[in-house]
Amino acid sequence: MSTPLTDEALDAIVAVLRDELARERPVEVPGLGTFRVEHQPATVDSTDEGSRLRPPRNTVVFAPETD
Amino acid sequence: MASSIPSLLADRLNVSDEDARALLRTLVRELRTHAATDEVRLSGLGTFSEAPDGTLRFTPAPSLQRHVNASYEGLSSEPVGSLETPPTTAATKARTPDEDPSVPPPDAASASDADPAASGEAAAPNDAPDHASPKRVSPGPDASERRSPVRAVWGAALAALLLAAAGWLMYSEPGLLGASSPPASSTVSSTPPSDTASDTTSGSESPSAAASDRSSSPRPASSSPTARASTAPNRWAIVVASHTARTAALETAQSYRVRFDTVKVVAGTVDGQTWYRVAVGRYGSEPQAEQALARSKGTLPTGAWTHRLR
């Protein structure tokens, strides 16, 4: 018998994931995969038109669970 | 180590760990079932879909990307300006790494700002490797060796006279030194002030910036806790631009002064890189700042952002 997935439960799952990722902590969801935040430091992109400094940023990546 | 989502979920929903696991199992099953045929979008999180090879793909939602980048809010890419410095002198060569914004932050020369040094404190820690560099040539010893004894005596006498005059001035007008020393150089510090290690309003308009910045505002609020407390009620502002060069930020700030009573350049350090954000207005709360931003849509840059000043 499965537990019904209510809106409240779904919102709670999303909120937990968002909070943990905001703290840059990886989160493993059993049966699904692992979410984590990858930090990308500031970089300088050089093009024909000149160089641009890009600020640092975080990116969310997901590694699916392999069977 | 990855967080245990079942226990976090159990805490949030005030249910048992087993119930939380059951909820997650249901979610995963539903997700996988629907992702096999279509995209599954979870609001606030992202979209799941199945790749041709059967693996699950996830595309984060824009709101999640913003959420994990909260500490970098208001930062945008900017052109790295070329510096007009004479390429031949040794002193210029020695200073170039400091002025090059492309130098990685962990590097000691990562002041990252195109502003040339002006004060002793600005040259303190970050310049250390430069002093140690064999390329750096100090003109001092060579010059003194070329001096004749007569010139040296006259020089010493002149220096003593100047010192005496300076001492007399300091004695007669104690506040004179503090007020005049920063503008002694017309240039702006190449390294951020030491108080910019954290994002504060305090370092926003340092004395060294006074050369090009309007000096109508009093001393930075950082100098005393009481001063900081006095500015506490209006801690929200709108960030309209951010630069790695203080001079660029000051220029931008100047352009906003005709429209806003309060325009500040707020220094903040991110990954060792100092950014100078141009913050306009002062608001008592985030909703007030958001309302002001909404009212000013069309007249402010599209990337303008409300920001809590610390």
Q: Which residue on chain A is closest to B63 by alpha carbon?
A: A18
pLDDT at res. B68: 93
- Residue of A60, A65, A67 best to disrupt the B interface, most CBs of B under 10 A: A60
Give pLDDT tens digits for A25-49.
999 999 999 999 999 999 988 888 8
Residues of A within 8 A of B10 (CB-CB) are none
Q: Test A25 with B70 for CB contact under 8 angstroms.
A: no
CB distance A32 to B28 below 8 Å: yes
pTM for the whole structure: 0.44
Instruction: Decide which of B267 and B198 is more confident.
Output: B267
Stronger pLDDT, A3 or B253, i.e. the higher one: B253
B223 pLDDT higher than 70: no
- Interface predicted TM-score (ipTM) of this complex, two decimals: 0.89
d(CA A60, CA A37): 5
Distance to chain A for B75, nearest Cα, Å = 6
Task: Tell me the chain A residues in contact with residue B26 when contact means C-beta distances shorter than 8 Å.
Answer: 2-5
Q: What is the mean pLDDT of residues B89-107?
A: 37
A13 and A24 Cβ atoms separated by less than 8 Å: no
- CB-nearest to A58 from B26, B68, B102 is B68
pLDDT of B269 higher than 70: yes
Question: What angle, 0 to 180 degrees and rounded to 10, lies between the N-to-C axes of helices A7-22 and B5-13?
Answer: 120
- B16 reaches A (C-beta below 8 A): no
Model pLDDT for residues B194-208, shown as the tens digit of each residue:
333 334 343 333 333
DSSP state of A67: -
